[in-house]
Chain A
Amino acid sequence: MANGTSAYIRRDMVAPQPAPPGATGVSHWLKTKLFATPKDIVLTILAIALLVYIVPGMVDWLFIDAVWTGDNRAACATIQQGGVLPDGQSGACWAFIGAKFQQFIFGRYPLDERWRPMLVMVLFVILLIPMLLPKAPFKGWNALALFIILPVISFFLLIGGVFGLEHVETPLWGGLMVTLILSFFGITVSLPFGIILALGRRSELPVIKTLCVAFIEVIRGIPLITVLFMASVMLPLFLPDGWTFDKLLRALIGVSIFSSAYMAEVIRGGLQVIPKGQFEGADSLGLSYWQKMRLIILPQAIKLVIPGIVNTFIGLFKDTSLVSIIGMFDLLGIVTLNQSDANWSTPVTPVTGYIFAGFIFWMFCFGMSRYSAFMERHLDTGYKR
């Protein structure tokens, strides 16, 4: 190794060569991903056969043979069933969704007053979008408006009875509106309460600790449906004559207590992971308990459990359909209720209604899960393993 001039020592980097033919492109992808081994080949063919079997029929049913307009069941029923379609045709009855759409969104909220929920919705979207964008300014004021001021305004706007607005009692509320109110309220309440409960459960003060453990374990031990059912059937019998709890309020309380207990455990999971050094470091800086939690521990802990938090939110969003047990009509409830309308009763109406409800639920849940994925990437500060 006296000098670097030996003829067989290369001085220049070899220019990168294109991948050999067959190692890139569609054919390579097919070869490695779909047809790599005999087992893969069999599975691929089975999957394709399944798709060919299902998809054309689904497209036919959902779009091609579907009925898009009509005023009553005749539009969606075959001649044999007392309608106008040729016998044997079967497709989704979107006309049913069209006729009932407003009801699915607002429930039985009076027709002339529906601008009120619309206005609430618009305000909500206006406040929510900057809240969701990490770069938007004035987060504090925005949060105050979204989580404190908006609910108060919405409450008076929706229920009325003040400022000359007509009183609209909660049994008339329904549809997607109730689903969103319940889940927004549940989500807003459960996060702070969940944090407090999680901290309480890890507290060294025995009374607080016992209370929090008891609360969480009791709530997690009962199904939500039981509590709602108790509240609707038993509670009126125990209350003094004539006192009734508003059903929506019962549901709001039930749902938020529940999600708080679940949220507490999710957040506790995050707290467990924070290394002891972080606590000790914060202590040695002379931070108080709340400063330590607010500035050091919680930001790290919550970031770690975002998937769990969003999981709880999504579960909560879907659990709201349990309120149909107590005679409230959320999105799913009002879709089911309208299936009893003899004017629209056909073999395809129930399925169409369920597909519509399922699609709306999916849209919201998918939105939440995409946003949480975005937030995880945004907050990623090198913990990724």
Chain B
Amino acid sequence: MKKTVLSAALGAAVLGLASAASAATLDDVKAKGFVTCGVSAGIPGFSNPDDKGEWTGLDVDYCRGIAAAVFGDAKKAKFVPLSSKDRFPALQSGEVDVLTRNTTWTISRDTSLGFNFRTVNYYDGQGFIVKKSLNVKSAMELSGAAVCVQTGTTTELNLADYFKANNLQYNPVVFEKEADATTAYDSGRCDVYTTDQSGLYAIRLKMKNPDENMVLPEVISKEPLGPAVRQGDDKWFDVVSWVHYAMVNAEEFDITSKNVDEKKASGGPDIKRMLGAEDGGKIGTDLGLTNEWAYNIVKMVGNYGEVFDRNVGPGSPLKIERGLNALWSKGGLQYAPPIR
């Protein structure tokens, strides 16, 4: 008992105050001088450390974008790696300001957990990968297959739903860790492995013979992954949402981190308005930021296409196609409201 008192005293002595989980996150973030983002503890392409130990990834760049918008400095972002169990308490308790940790937007998370979702920075969906030698062309032919799956995830539930709905038999082979499940599939323990499609791309890199496997066309679930913030703080919610919209709008206008200065000087009125070059514009200040906010995001982090490309797309080892994540004008789902 003595030790508990001692530890509490020690704790009080050593620790400072973290950001308060109050209703004015934007002010708190500005006051402490950096934004704290919850990220995943290692998902390839979304948040993982590079050789120097810097965080990289799609979710990480979203957070850098927020920092660029708020402070004009993409480096003023701190990352808290969170497991899937830790992530919601961490956001609720105010340990992180925003959760950019490829979290699926579902109604229960939006309502009963008390979070707000609006933007989707990656549209994912659950898929199957099989050995080509099975000669299977569709998930409908998978009756009786042994399916490797990670336990305790929505993946496992979606799998059960899908096979039940289609009256198919299957033998689930469950694993605690994703790495174990993929190794088991690769060594032939099961015929099929199922996880989110972005994960299927990452797994190909770990396979002994990637060309002997194929991804089936069926996508059996919707996994809109996006940032979450605490409910009841609309101002901060707006900032987080418009960071994504600014990146998508920038791609639509063909503004990249390389040509942003040029576009700011010579672009059309809508581009000038967005980049804060319009006389008397107050779009940024209405958001609670500076008018340069969108310019800073694009300049320091890039537009959505650039970010996608270097983290998960052709510029990365994952080489994921844009698919659902292409702009709406190119057949995808990424659609941003206009900035005016």
Chain A residues engaging chain B, CB cutoff 8 angstroms: 72-73, 77, 80-82, 90, 99-100, 102-103, 106-109, 111, 171, 193, 211, 215, 232-234, 236-237, 239, 241-246, 249, 253, 257, 260, 325-327, 329, 336-343, 345-347, 349-350
A342 and B15 contact, Cβ closer than 8 Å, known pairs A236-B95, A327-B82, A337-B81: no
Query: Could you list 22 A-B pairs, sorted by A, with CB under 8 Å?
Result: A77-B205, A81-B210, A82-B210, A102-B53, A103-B52, A103-B53, A109-B53, A171-B80, A211-B1, A233-B89, A241-B22, A242-B17, A242-B21, A242-B94, A245-B15, A246-B11, A249-B10, A249-B15, A326-B86, A327-B41, A327-B82, A337-B41
Q: Which residues in A have their C-beta under 8 angstroms from that of B152?
A: none
A236 to chain B, nearest CB (A): 4
Is B86 a contact partner of A108 (Cβ separation < 8 A)? Answer: no
**Which residue of A has the minimal Cβ distance to B2?**
A211
CB atoms of B49 and A338 under 8 A apart: yes
Report, as a range, how many residues of chain B touch the other chain. 35 or more
Q: Are B210 and A242 in contact (CB under 8 A)?
A: no
Q: Chain A's nearest CB lies how many Å from the CB of B41? A: 6
Give a binary string over B193-227; 1 marks a CB under 8 Å from any A CB, 0 the rest: 00000000010011111110000000000000000
Interface of A is mostly: helix
Q: Which residues of B contact A257 (CB under 8 A)?
A: 3, 7
Contacts of A239 in B (CB 8 A): 93
Contacts of A232 in B (CB 8 A): 86
B208 to chain A, nearest CB (A): 5
Q: Give the nearest-CB partner of A235 in chain B.
A: B93
Contacts of B202 in A (CB 8 A): 342, 345
Q: B44 near A: Cβ within 8 Å?
A: yes
Partner of B20, one of A100, A242, A245, A338: A242
Interface centre among B7, B49, B50, B186 (most CB of A within 10 A): B49
Interface assignment of B90: CB less than 8 Å from any CB of chain A: yes
- Using a CB–CB cutoff of 8 Å, the interface residues on chain B facing chain A are 1, 3, 7, 10-11, 14-15, 17-22, 41-45, 48-54, 78, 80-83, 85-86, 89-90, 92-95, 179, 183, 186, 202, 205-211, 316-318
A243-B17, A340-B44 in contact; A215/B1 too (CB < 8 A)? Answer: yes
Instruction: Say whether chain B's binding surface is mostly helix, strand, loop, or mixed.
Output: loop
Contact across chains for B15 and A327 when beta carbons are under 8 A apart: no
The residues of B that contact A329 with a CB separation of less than 8 Å are 81
- Which residues in A have their C-beta under 8 angstroms from that of B52? 103, 111
Given that A241-B20, A246-B14, A345-B202 are known contacts, is A236 also in contact with B50, CB under 8 Å in the complex?
Answer: no
Q: Which residue of B lies closest to A342 (CB)?
A: B44
| CA of A211 to CA of B2, assembled, Å | 9
A299 CB to closest chain B CB (Å) equals: 26
**Residue among A90, A193, A260, A337 with max Cβ neighbours from chain B (10 Å):** A337
CB-CB under 8 A from A82, the residues of chain B are 205, 210, 317
Interchain CB contact under 8 A, B179 and A337: no
Q: Collect the chain B residues with CB atoms within 8 Å of residue A80's CB.
A: 208-211
A211 to B183, CA, bound (A): 49
- Contact between B93 and A73 (Cβ–Cβ < 8 Å)? no
B3 and A108: CB pair below 8 A? no
Chain A residues in 8 Å Cβ range of B92: 237
The reply to whether A341 and B44 contact each other, CB–CB distance below 8 Å, is yes
* New A-B pairs, 8, CB < 8 Å, besides A109-B53, A211-B1, A242-B17: A81-B209, A107-B53, A111-B53, A233-B85, A236-B95, A253-B3, A341-B44, A345-B44
Q: Which B residues are CB-close (under 8 A) to A102?
A: 53
Which residues of the other chain, A, contact B43 by a CB distance below 8 angstroms? 340
Q: Check A346 against B93 for contact (C-beta < 8 Å).
A: no
**A234 to B89 CA separation, bound complex (whole angstroms):** 8
Residues of B within 8 A of A249 (CB): 10-11, 14-15
The smallest beta-carbon distance between B34 and chain A, in angstroms, is 11
